[in-house]
Amino acid sequence: MGSNPAAAGVTAAPRYVSPVAALKNSQSVGFVRGMFAAITAIGIGILGVTGSTGFLAYVVTHAVASFALLTAMKMSPSKYFAQQTVPGFLLSGVGDNLILFIFAWTLAYAMVHIY
């Protein structure tokens, strides 16, 4: 004699995402992407990569970090961020760590190849 709420016209309650948890998740994602960017920048600086190849390395690094995070989230970023889609997650934050990347890249390049 169990009742089915969906059959009775009862809809599920809207999913709630805690703003505090979403902020913490956003900070964690930023940290991971930043570390990927810095480590890659130091590596390509040491290798002597210059020009657009270096910027391509940043884009690839951002994509790899984002896919790694999506894999950890089981391809469901909306569970961890309010109204976030997979393409939106992949494209978000591309410019956030660009300055860090350029700084680490030029510093590593200068330390190895100029000085």
pLDDT one-digit tens code per residue, 88-100: 999 888 888 999 9
Answer whether 87's CB lies under 8 Å from 27's CB: no
Residue pLDDT, tens place only, 9-55: 666 555 677 888 889 999 999 999 999 999 999 999 999 999 999 99
Question: pTM value?
Answer: 0.79
Q: How far is CA 97 from the centre of its chain?
A: 10
Integer Cα distance of 113 and 110 in angstroms? 5
Integer Cα distance of 39 and 52 in angstroms? 18
> Is the torsion defined by CA of 35, 24, 70, 58 positive or negative?
negative
Answer whether 86's CB lies under 8 Å from 75's CB: yes
